[in-house]
Amino acid sequence: MIEERYMELADRFIITDYLIKVLEQDKQQFEAFKLSEEYKSLMDHTIIRVREDMRTIKKTMYDGKIKVVTTSGASEDFIYFTVYQGNQDMNMSFLRAQLRNRVGQLFKYYMMGDERFFAEDYYANPQNGD
């Protein structure tokens, strides 16, 4: 069985990876805004911060011999991942709505300093703050 701290790290990797993708896509929508350059600059700054954190997450995963792989069989409602550590593996699944909420919570952290994403009881009750 993979230690809980490594599963939490894998979870953070998945959420952060999705946040980067969402921010990159959303940044393209600012073209129609009157202050488009200012919004793009804000998004670029946020993306840089998220990527810096992602580098730290990846290094910690590398040091812990953790690998996360998207597993085939995603459905309309769920996305599946396999987390590997050495010769051990564990499956993770996310309800798409839950993943979207988690990405939103992490976004709030980067944009507004809302630290509920990092609350100690988060993994015991991931719906906190919704």
Q: Where are the domains of the chain?
A: 4-118
- The CA distance from 103 to 109, in Å, is 10
pTM: 0.84
User: According to the model, what pLDDT value does residue 62 have?
Assistant: 96
User: According to the model, what pLDDT value does residue 100 have?
Assistant: 94
- The CA distance from 4 to 123, in Å, is 10
- The CA distance from 20 to 67, in Å, is 18
Instruction: Report helix, strand or coil for 3.
Output: coil
Average pLDDT over residues 33-42: 87
More confident of the two residues 27 and 49: 49
